[in-house]
Amino acid sequence: MLNNVYIIGAGETKFGELWDKSLRNLAVEAGLKAIENAGIYSRDIDAIYGANGLAGTINEQENIGALIADFSGLSMEGIPALRVEASTASGAAAVREAYLSIKSGEYDLVVVGGVEKMTDIHGSGILEKMSSILDREWEAFFGATPAAMAALIARKYMNDFNVEKEALSMFSVNDHLNASKNPDAQYRNKLTVEQAMDSIPVADPLNMMDCSPVSDGAAAIVLASENFVKKNKKEGVKILSSAVAEDYLSVGSRESIYTLKSTRLAAEKAFKKAGIKRDDISFMEVHDSFSIYGLLELEDLGFAEKGKAKNLVYDDIKLNGRLPVNPSGGLKAKGDPYGAVGIGQVVDAYKQLMEKAGERQIKDARYALLHNMAGTGASSVVHILGE
Amino acid sequence: MLNNVYIIGAGETKFGELWDKSLRNLAVEAGLKAIENAGIYSRDIDAIYGANGLAGTINEQENIGALIADFSGLSMEGIPALRVEASTASGAAAVREAYLSIKSGEYDLVVVGGVEKMTDIHGSGILEKMSSILDREWEAFFGATPAAMAALIARKYMNDFNVEKEALSMFSVNDHLNASKNPDAQYRNKLTVEQAMDSIPVADPLNMMDCSPVSDGAAAIVLASENFVKKNKKEGVKILSSAVAEDYLSVGSRESIYTLKSTRLAAEKAFKKAGIKRDDISFMEVHDSFSIYGLLELEDLGFAEKGKAKNLVYDDIKLNGRLPVNPSGGLKAKGDPYGAVGIGQVVDAYKQLMEKAGERQIKDARYALLHNMAGTGASSVVHILGE
């Protein structure tokens, strides 16, 4: 039975503060780019999977699947559409659902689109909304924000493993350097380690340059069954594996606050299914909503011992390093539109693996690992893509 | 290849104004009932699909999949969990995703749980939140509520097909009569047609007895692969087909405001896949958030000509009639907790098909059709269950 799943097209909007575009404009722009890139007819599309984190609370709009189907002109055909929500991991969770739907034999051609419009709220109002990704009753109710939780984790991690603040800053420096070569990125300025370390405090020890921004943006991909790819002679990137795992929602319930157990479990499953080793990975995109998570993820994905990621952040993770991380610019510099992030990672990895990443192109890129995480690590989704 | 999918357990909370129970309490109560009913070990569960419509906006809690996994004690095992959102059709959309995930061969045993906690908002504040299921920019922004849209549709329908208000009221009368026999129902009082017609106006021509209530509640089911069922000698109800279709989000964009195109398309697909005829259906549960939709659904599901459902609502739809509709009490009387509705329909149909529906038991029930709809008909999900 031919049931491999391929990415045959990808597109995204610029990420940033996009005052002149609405939620629906963004979703449709990305979707149409992906469809055009795939060179398919919209009448052949079997289903739409939408990903979104916060439109209910920010934009007072639920029913996002139907919204996207409607404004992309696809509801005329009655095409199935729904939304997947797994907080900040909604994007990759939607990719996984679409992947399973093709594997089930039910669909041959599926569009997966993620969108977030976060600047529709004034000033600090967004913080309250963003905190809905935490445990409302045990964390957010007491005033904790995502940054505050990340700061708690960072403080204990730095103390227990003797990690200097500079190591965290280096993660952001790498993101900005890569984003300077990505036309879709929100911030394209290069950042020195001094600038990163001297930026204004957000939640000590994290400062502004440790925190991903508030972003608008959308990203979309087209997934196809092996049958469709063969029949239509399409080129594509194969999804070698897709895995997801959960941890406790509130950080205080976890065995170790600086161990992302969901990331560990998802990575283990993903490597087992893909049948490749960590050494085979050409590059990674990881969910660095805060720089501390970048370091923890290098460890919990299995690329460094706990407490040792600091050894990778100066050279190894660079675009021309041993293990390039976030060639797209990552959440810090490419941007962090919640529901679009996990799909934006796929868009970028697709370009790399198709050797169409321009200035950012990694030589001989064969296997990519993509990591998208919900909140402080309650869920992690890992995809491994290959040839 | 054995890839049929079975329902092997079901459970739900009472639906109603449940002031003493929170979102997470409700979700866990229903989930544990379903697991107990299925007689399975929690360590055997491969994934959780959560369904919820409005928790982001009402309860300021996103990440519902992780929340449910956490508080049901299943996140210890790192079990995958996510939330499916398709507005008021979230429940059935989650059932469909879980069904596909088992068909894909990735999972053998999946829990699907839907929950909504709508009374956490004072008074009429809920109306604003409920309106997020409409098109925010083209409907809700201008003050339209779900009831207002239903009233517009009802007025034109009654005019064009010469339908009396009494026919709408009869739909609610049938719901209340059935709910009087359902211990989980929100309203167990019987309703006379005079009471229904004399209730206070909400949006003319609809009055209070044409509108489903604001409800808290949760429902859960356990789905299993054919392999699991055979290996563990489980009894269950087979999902014969699962289908979904979209229409335009805003009513004004549609070809006909009283034709639920998404319902038509989903029903066509569902019957085709199930390989049975409309005459074979033993009973139906339909999404009557407003009585007018009950009539439209009888027509668009294919059980009456357009404008002729009025001929069915006096006798045929009764529990002992030719085509029993809403033996559970329907949305009007059993209750309407958005994300739980579509799964609650499955819970009830499971009881009927397993001949455990008590006072409400339909004789020789073999095939059930379940219809769950998003908003004013932007999405419809149809499941056909059988032996």
Q: Tell me, what's the pLDDT at B193?
A: 98
Q: SS3 letters for chain A?
A: CCCCEEEEEEEECCCECCCCCCHHHHHHHHHHHHHHHHCCCHHHCCEEEEECCCHHHHCCCCCHHHHHHHHCCCHHHCCCEEEEEECECHHHHHHHHHHHHHHCCCCCEEEEEEEEECCCCCCCHHHHHHHHHCCCCCCHHHCCCHHHHHHHHHHHHHHHHCCCHHHHHHHHHHHHHHHCCCCCCCCCCCCCHHHHHHCCEEECCEEHHHECCCCEEEEEEEEEEHHHHHHCCCCCEEEEEEEEEECCCCHHHCCCCCCCHHHHHHHHHHHHHHCCCHHHCCEEECCCCEHHHHHHHHHHCCCCCCCCHHHCCCCCCCCCCCCCECCCCHHHHHCCCHHHHHHHHHHHHHHHHCCCCHHHCCCCCCCEEEEEEECCCCEEEEEEEEC
Contact criterion met (CB below 8 Å) for B88 and B374: yes
Share of chain A above pLDDT 90, in %: 87
Q: List the one residue out of B298, B337, B371, B277 whose CA is nearest residue B21.
A: B337
| Contact yes or no for B66 and A249 at CB 8 A | yes
For A239, residues 6+ apart whose C-beta sits below 8 A from its C-beta are A4, A5, A6, A7, A99, A223, A383, A384, A385
pLDDT band at residue A33 using 50, 70 and 90 as cut-offs: very high
Residue A1: is its pLDDT beyond 60? no
Residue A381: is its pLDDT beyond 60? yes
Buried b (16+ CB within 10 A) or exposed e, A232-263: eebebbbbbbbbbbbbbbbbeebeebbbbbbb
Calpha distance B287→B258 (Å, rounded)? 15
Residue found by looking up tokens 């157990």 in the block: A261
| Contact yes or no for A249 and B103 at CB 8 A | no
Q: What rounded mean pLDDT belongs to chain A? A: 95
| Contact yes or no for A60 and B128 at CB 8 A | yes
Calpha distance A371→A349 (Å, rounded)? 12
Q: Tell me, what's the pLDDT at A72?
A: 81
- Option in A101, A137, A246 nearest B78 (CB): A246
- CA distances in angstroms from A219 to A7, A34, B203, listed in the order given: 13, 8, 40
> For A108-162, what is each residue's pLDDT tens digit?
999 999 999 999 887 778 888 888 889 888 999 999 999 999 999 999 999 999 9
ipTM of the complex: 0.93
Residue A199: is its pLDDT beyond 90? yes
Asked if B69 has any chain A CB less than 8 Å from its own CB, the reply is yes
**Among B118, B239, B246, which would you mutate to test the A interface (most chain A Cβ atoms within 10 Å of its Cβ)?**
B246
Q: Tell me, what's the pLDDT at A2?
A: 65
Residue A314: is its pLDDT beyond 90? yes
Calpha distance B179→B351 (Å, rounded)? 15
- Option in A247, A253, A374 nearest B78 (CB): A247
H/E stretch holding B333 = none
pLDDT band at residue A345 using 50, 70 and 90 as cut-offs: very high
Q: List the one residue out of B361, B368, B294, B375 whose CA is nearest residue B333.
A: B294
**Among A54, A57, A63, A261, which would you mutate to test the B interface (most chain B Cβ atoms within 10 Å of its Cβ)?**
A63
Q: Tell me, what's the pLDDT at B1?
A: 55
| Contact yes or no for B57 and A62 at CB 8 A | yes
Amino acid at position A100, single letter: L
Going from the N-terminus, what domains does chain A have, and what CATH number goes with each? Answer: 5-122+215-238 (3.40.47.10), 125-211+241-386 (3.40.47.10)
H/E stretch holding B161 = helix B146-161
Calpha distance A159→A247 (Å, rounded)? 24
Which is more confident, A69 or A363? A363
Q: Tell me, what's the pLDDT at B27?
A: 94
| Contact yes or no for A86 and B74 at CB 8 A | no
Considering only A43-57, A85-99, A254-268, B228-242, which range has the smallest mean pLDDT?
A: A43-57
Calpha distance A312→A148 (Å, rounded)? 25
Please tell me the distance in Å from A329's CA to the nearest CA on chain B: 25
Please tell me the distance in Å from B321's CA to the nearest CA on chain A: 32
How is residue B274 written in tokens? Answer: 């199930």
Q: For chain B, list residues with pLDDT below 70.
A: 1-2
Asked if B225 has any chain A CB less than 8 Å from its own CB, the reply is no
Sign of CA dihedral B291, B295, B296, B297: positive
H/E stretch holding B69 = helix B64-71
- Option in A81, A85, A105 nearest B246 (CB): A81
Contact criterion met (CB below 8 Å) for A278 and A384: no
| Contact yes or no for A250 and B86 at CB 8 A | no
| Contact yes or no for B132 and A104 at CB 8 A | no
Q: pTM for the whole thing?
A: 0.95
pLDDT average, residue stretch A329-344: 98
Q: List the one residue out of B326, B327, B217, B225 whose CA is nearest residue B8.
A: B225
**Residue A48 bridge partners (DSSP):** A81, A111
Please tell me the distance in Å from B316's CA to the nearest CA on chain A: 30
> For A224-234, what is each residue's pLDDT tens digit?
999 999 999 99
